[in-house]
Structure formats: structure tokens, C-alpha cells
Amino acid sequence: MCVKKYNKLVRDKIPEIIEKSGRSVVVEVLGDEAYKKYLDEKLSEELQEYLECDNVEELADMAEVIFAILKYKGIHINDFEDIRKKKAVERGTFDKRLLLKEVIGAAEGS
């Protein structure tokens, strides 16, 4: 019998999908601290997958992890969008594609 170990956070329906294929799974329901740790690892994993293949589906996976992190932190998606919009107004977006090359002169108070 072949056993493959993963120890990674998966979407809720993944165990069911695996079992429908005739295989068995062992899962654990995570506590708060472990859940946050694995969410952070999953976000990093999804970012790496996006960087490797430049696939929009990986961005969707990243968004799903971000939504889970927000829910874990008790932040509603609308509140998160308000934060994003506020930062866009105060600091701008990335629409102009600006690459900051240098800053010349010492900042005041340095």
C-alpha cells in the first residue's frame, strides 16, 4: 500500500474528492494557532506556484487563502476592501508602473 504524506492545508472538499477516487485520507481539524500557521504556509505556497507558472488560477487560490486569513482575523471582506481603497487614495495604485530607482538626499530627521 502506498502512503503519501502531505501535512498541508487543503480546501474543504479535497478529502471527499480523494475518497471518491477510491483512496482513503487522514485529516486533522486544526486549532487556531496551527490553522494560522498553515494558512501562512499555504499563502506562500500559492505565491510560489503563481511565480513559477504565471497562471491566473493561482491568483484565485491566493485570494481564497487571503479570504480565509481575513475570516480568521475577524475582518469582513468589505472592511478589507475599505482598507485597500484608503491605501489606494493615500499612496496610489500600481497603474502607472513606476519603478523607484533612487532617492537622492537624506530624509529630514536622519
- Confidence band of 107 (pLDDT split at 50, 70, 90): confident
CA 36 to CA 14: how far, in whole Å?
Answer: 19
Predicted TM-score (pTM) of the model is 0.86
The average pLDDT across 75-96 equals 98
CA 6 to CA 24: how far, in whole Å?
Answer: 13
Angle between helical axes of 77-91 and 56-72 (0-180°, round to 10)? 110
Q: Which residue has the cell 481564497?
A: 64
